[in-house]
Amino acid sequence: PITYYDVIVKPIKTFTYSGLFISRILKSRLFSFLASYRNLIRIISDVLKDVDYDLMVNSTGIAPVLIDNEILYVQPGSMDLCTGEFLSDTYRRFFWYILARHAKEIRQLIRERKLLLITNSKFTKVFFSKLYETEEIYTIYPRSILMDLLAKRTIKKHEEDETKLVISYTRFVRGKKFEDLIKAIIILRRKLKDNYRVMLAGFAQDMRYIRTLINKAQKVKQIVSFSFNLSRQEALNLLLQSDIYVHTSRCEPFGLSVLEAMGAKNAIVSHMSGGPWLDILEKGKWGLGYKNAEELAMTLSNLLKNDDYLEEYQELARIRFEYFEKRNSSEEFVNLVKSYFNI
């Protein structure tokens, strides 16, 4: 995963662009932010001159506004970092170029204890440490309501002779790489009897991408199904009914859905990148990884053919979930803020 950081961060200092590129970014929803970042900083600074405040919590999730006593919880999307349809790789570098220009100012504020940067994973921390050339960045893992609900349940999985359910649950947007799982199932169908089902579920954000996935899944439509815009209870039920959770996203900063699946005692198979692989699975200690669709098909085959092997990773998943569930993120945040700003 470190190579991803090198690919993104190194070209930032020598960014160039073309007229065609400019015409494309003018249509982007992020252009107004990128074009007016300096003005945004100035406006917020001017407004707060007359405000008697102690701390300012920046909720953008990605961009510091460079005022005194600012707290920024950094949680970029996977497409912000290195994958998916972020208009273009050139545009992605432009986005980080805008922020990297303020690295010196950011480091000075950090040295003076006037800016606290907290990331949602060690994976994210490495990226921003390279971007701003500082190690003075902290990590606090997030949690979700589903994690709280799952922590109170005793999980019982299917009997050995029942059909297994493999799921992948996230937003339907390019970059989430659901197509890797579909390709793996097409490969798997030739090697394994149909004693399993696959469900791709999540929020229907990109309809064009959804149509592409449905077309790709036609060869295995008896096995692969889709479910969109689930309620919290429906998502909970799906996690409880499933046996294996496949996380296909590249460079996911943390991956709350992975933890939720572990709470429901699902064996985890994740792409070998991002927070799910580095922070949650610790490079294979608590779940299995893959690099391409062929490896994913082989890993799923091993889990589906061997109930003892599957149960082993289901148990590991629940143990790892309990480690994260016992962490009190709110308390960690309050204690860090108090010590950092000497409150």
CB 96 within 8 A of CB 8: yes
- 314 DSSP assignment: H
Best CA proximity match to 285, nearest among 298, 272, 295? 272
> How far apart, in Å, are the Cα atoms of 219 and each of 184, 190, 228, 265?
12, 12, 21, 30
DSSP string, 282-301: TTTTSSEEESSHHHHHHHHH
**Tokens found for residue 28:** 């982007």
The predicted pLDDT at position 320 comes to: 95
* 67 contact partners, CB below 8 Å, separation of at least 6: 41, 44, 45, 48, 56
Instruction: Provide the pLDDT for residue 8.
Output: 40
Tell me which residue of 207, 185, 189, 208 sits closest to 198, measured CA to CA: 185
The CB density around residue 163, as the number of other CB atoms within 10 Å, is 10
Q: Which residues contact 22 (CB under 8 A, 6 or more apart)?
A: none
Strands 70-74 and 196-202: unpaired
pLDDT tens string, the chain, 343 residues long: the values are 333 333 344 444 344 444 444 444 444 445 555 556 777 777 777 877 788 888 988 877 788 888 889 999 988 876 667 654 444 566 667 777 878 888 999 999 999 999 999 999 999 998 899 889 999 999 999 988 888 888 776 666 656 557 899 999 999 988 789 999 999 999 998 877 778 999 999 999 889 999 999 999 999 999 999 999 999 899 999 999 999 999 999 888 899 999 999 999 999 999 999 899 999 999 999 999 999 999 999 999 999 999 999 999 999 999 999 999 998 898 999 999 999 999 8
30's CB contacts (< 8 A; 6+ apart) are 95
DSSP track, 190-209: TTS-S-EEEEEEE----HHH
Question: In the prediction, which pLDDT does 6 show?
Answer: 39
> What is the reported pLDDT for 13?
39
Tell me the pTM: 0.84
Question: What pLDDT, on a 0 to 100 scale, did the predictor assign at position 65?
Answer: 85
Q: CB burial class (10 A; 0-12, 13-18, 19+) of residue 194?
A: exposed
| DSSP 3-state of 245 | strand
- Please check whether residue 96 is in contact with residue 130, taking contact to mean a CB–CB distance below 8 angstroms: no
Phi-psi region of 277 (alpha: psi -120 to 50; beta: other; left: phi over 0): alpha
Nearest to 194 by CA among 168, 213, 220: 220
- Give the other-Cβ count within 10 Å of 119's Cβ: 25
